[in-house]
């Protein structure tokens, strides 16, 4: 098509494109709706590898608080951009214009959010959903505007502000910045400030209404938060235990509240269950069948718990078989069956234990296939669960009332991967020192049921995924892939909010030692000890280092 200057340009409309009846056209996106209530947007875009000149200011921008870091800026610059077929809403040549999308960079920035920053972002979206959009319409203030507000605020404030005790203050600052933008009628794009994202949308009476709504929220000093359904967790949990899930009304059956409650409960119940398992009391698989006699709500919880128990029971049986004289193949087959049952626990943990089992059986191809499946499903929507934030709003990313709680846990939650001392023969060699982190007088101070952190080897799921990938590729002499897995481990340690960071560093040191990077491995181990001085498996590895060094020196004389 020719523009007003006679130049040949690419038309940005879906001209001649026939959509399936399941799709609806929304701007540049083809939206498909599913019977479950989910919807997906597909946007046709052109990839541009070079950084756009109109966003150069973002690269060179003066930042007083080093966010984002120069390293992150470089990664974003190399990630490229997308050209999306949509023009300015009030432009006379809107049908010829294409929008520059920096969605890759935005994802990277969101991954840099701290726990408090992500909580603030999620709460801001909830405030928009429950208190702003019902009064002004769904498309006036969007999640994208909220995300842009977060970017600007984090960039312009010190990291010390973003502490849990300041969460309400941070939310208020976001609302005030949004109000200022609305009053000025200008929401500047984070990467290209000259682009006004309110253009053609927020003006006239809509602008004044939106400003008034934001002003009212700011005046309430956070009292509006009690009106968000997620804060009814206690009521929902009590009611869920007293009646079937199907009897709970839609509002109280929110995924957020149910899943957070179940997750919090799981970590406590698992501690008791695994302690009994460790003593060998629960080796009878018939125990698991007892969980099927509860009502619907309790069955949901037990379905999740049963999968975790099957996974550890399988690992326990496999370890027991290997401890006997010779290998009990029949016992290993039974262990394998339990590990398969446990692989459906959540997004990653059960499958990771199954992959580790295959790896120890030298079935590297099957292990690699499982790891590829996990990585494919480990999307940005997946929530990593830890003992401190299971009931935090940081985990409230998905809302879907048509899935059961067990399905939601299976699809959107990744639990830490535990190995008990009783699973020692089925524990990867690199994790064995973690089960001996507590010795001597330190053991007497442990709670026999709940202080599992001191006597188990527990590792964050995403880090363990890349560790097992490295081990697979190392055994198959796939140099490029194993180095990529090693880089992924470093990335996760550096940028993810890990619960078991000392263990992550110890696993990284183990891999570096395998590569022959002894000095680097030694430095990483000391980083781990500096992070956690007491009860750290790194000290066992350092002891092995020193022992090896003395043996080498002794061999020279």
State the pLDDT at residue 26. Answer: 63
Beta partners for 188? 196
Residue 255, CA atoms < 13 Å, CB-side half-sphere? 19
Question: Residue 196 phi/psi, 5° resolution?
Answer: -90, 110
Distance, CA of 368 to CA of 359 (rounded, Å): 9
Asked if residue 187 lies in contact with residue 181, where contact means CB atoms within 8 angstroms, the answer is yes
Distance, CA of 541 to CA of 236 (rounded, Å): 47
CATH code given to domain 428-557: 1.25.40
Asked if residue 456 lies in contact with residue 420, where contact means CB atoms within 8 angstroms, the answer is yes
The pLDDT tens digits along the chain (557 residues) read 555 666 666 655 654 455 556 667 666 677 776 654 556 777 778 888 789 999 999 999 999 999 999 999 999 998 888 888 777 666 666 666 788 889 889 989 998 898 889 889 988 998 999 899 999 988 889 999 999 999 999 999 999 999 888 888 899 999 999 999 999 999 999 999 999 999 888 888 999 999 999 999 999 888 787 777 655 443 443 444 444 434 334 433 344 344 444 444 444 445 444 554 544 444 444 444 444 444 444 555 566 677 777 887 888 888 877 765 556 677 788 888 888 888 888 888 899 999 999 998 889 999 999 999 999 888 766 777 654 444 333 334 444 445 666 677 777 788 888 888 778 888 888 888 887 766 554 544 444 444 555 667 889 999 999 999 999 999 999 999 999 999 999 988 987 878 888 889 999 999 998 888 888 888 888 888 888 877 777 777 777 777 766 666 655 54
Block residue for tokens 């996990």: 374
pTM of the model: 0.49
Tokens of 180: 């200022």
SS3 content of the chain, % helix, strand, coil (to 5): 60, 5, 35
- In CATH, the architecture of 47-227 is Orthogonal Bundle (1.10)
Asked if residue 469 lies in contact with residue 488, where contact means CB atoms within 8 angstroms, the answer is yes
Distance, CA of 493 to CA of 497 (rounded, Å): 8
Distance, CA of 130 to CA of 145 (rounded, Å): 16
Q: Which residues contact 104 (CB under 8 A, 6 or more apart)?
A: 76, 79, 80, 81, 82
Tokens of 37: 């209530």
Distance, CA of 206 to CA of 225 (rounded, Å): 24
State the pLDDT at residue 96. Answer: 65
Tokens of 122: 């999620």
Question: Residue 483 phi/psi, 5° resolution?
Answer: -70, -35
Q: Where are the domains of the chain?
A: 47-227, 233-423, 428-557
Residue 540, CA atoms < 13 Å, CB-side half-sphere? 18
Distance, CA of 357 to CA of 427 (rounded, Å): 8
SS3 313: helix
Q: Where are the beta strands (DSSP E) in 16-133?
A: 23-26, 29-33, 39-43, 46-48, 81-84, 99-101
Please count the helices (runs of H) and the strands (runs of E) in the chain. 22, 10
State the pLDDT at residue 516. Answer: 87
Residue 539, CA atoms < 13 Å, CB-side half-sphere? 13
């Amino acid at each position: 098509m020719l523009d007003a200057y006679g130049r040949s340009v690419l038309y940005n409309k879906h001209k001649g494109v026939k959509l399936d009846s399941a799709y609806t056209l929304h701007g540049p996106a083809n939206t498909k709706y599913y019977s479950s209530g989910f919807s997906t947007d597909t946007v046709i875009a052109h990839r541009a590898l070079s950084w756009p000149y109109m966003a150069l200011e973002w690269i060179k921008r003066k930042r007083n608080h080093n966010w984002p870091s120069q390293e992150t800026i470089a990664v974003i610059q190399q990630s490229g951009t997308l050209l999306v077929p949509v023009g300015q809403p009030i432009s006379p040549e809107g049908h010829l214009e294409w929008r520059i999308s920096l969605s890759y960079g935005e994802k990277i920035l969101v991954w840099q959010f701290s726990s408090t920053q992500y909580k603030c972002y999620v709460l801001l979206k909830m405030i928009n959903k429950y208190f702003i959009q019902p009064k002004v319409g769904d498309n006036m203030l969007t999640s994208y505007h909220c995300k842009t507000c977060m970017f600007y605020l984090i960039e312009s404030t010190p990291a010390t502000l973003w502490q849990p005790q300041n969460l309400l203050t941070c939310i208020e600052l976001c609302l005030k910045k949004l109000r200022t933008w609305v009053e000025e009628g200008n929401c500047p794009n984070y990467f290209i400030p000259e682009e006004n994202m309110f253009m053609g949308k927020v003006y006239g009476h809509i602008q004044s209404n939106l400003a008034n709504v934001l002003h009212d929220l700011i005046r309430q000093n956070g009292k509006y938060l009690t009106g968000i359904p997620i804060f009814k967790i206690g009521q929902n949990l009590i009611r869920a235990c007293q009646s079937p899930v199907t009897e709970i009304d839609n509002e109280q059956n929110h995924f957020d509240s149910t899943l957070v409650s179940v997750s919090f409960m799981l970590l406590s119940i698992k501690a008791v269950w695994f302690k009994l398992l460790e003593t060998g009391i629960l080796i009878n698989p018939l125990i698991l069948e007892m969980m099927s006699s509860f009502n619907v709500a309790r069955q949901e919880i037990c379905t999740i718990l049963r999968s975790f128990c099957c996974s550890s029971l399988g690992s326990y049986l496999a370890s027991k078989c290997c401890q006997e004289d010779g290998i009990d193949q029949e016992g290993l087959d039974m262990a394998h069956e339990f590990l398969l049952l446990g692989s459906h626990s959540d997004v990653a943990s059960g499958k990771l234990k199954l992959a580790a089992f295959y790896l120890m059986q030298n079935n590297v191809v099957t292990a690699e296939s499982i790891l590829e499946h996990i990585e494919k499903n480990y999307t940005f929507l997946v929530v990593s669960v830890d003992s401190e934030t299971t009931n935090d709003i940081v985990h409230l990313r998905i809302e879907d009332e048509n899935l059961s709680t067990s399905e939601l846990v299976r699809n959107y939650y990744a639990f830490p991967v535990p190995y008990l001392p009783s699973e020692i023969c089925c524990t990867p060699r690199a994790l064995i020192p973690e089960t001996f982190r507590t010795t001597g007088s330190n053991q007497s101070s442990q709670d026999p049921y709940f202080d599992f952190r001191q006597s188990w080897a527990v590792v964050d799921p995403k880090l363990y995924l890349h560790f097992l990938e490295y081990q697979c590729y190392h055994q198959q002499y796939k140099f490029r892939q194993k180095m990529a897995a090693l880089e992924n481990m470093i990335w996760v340690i550096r940028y993810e909010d890990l619960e078991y960071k000392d263990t992550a560093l110890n696993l990284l040191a183990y891999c570096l030692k395998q590569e022959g990077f002894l000095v680097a491995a030694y430095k990483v181990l000391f980083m781990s000890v500096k992070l956690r001085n007491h009860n750290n498996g790194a000290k066992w590895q350092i002891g092995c280092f020193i022992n090896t060094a003395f043996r080498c020196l002794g061999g020279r004389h």
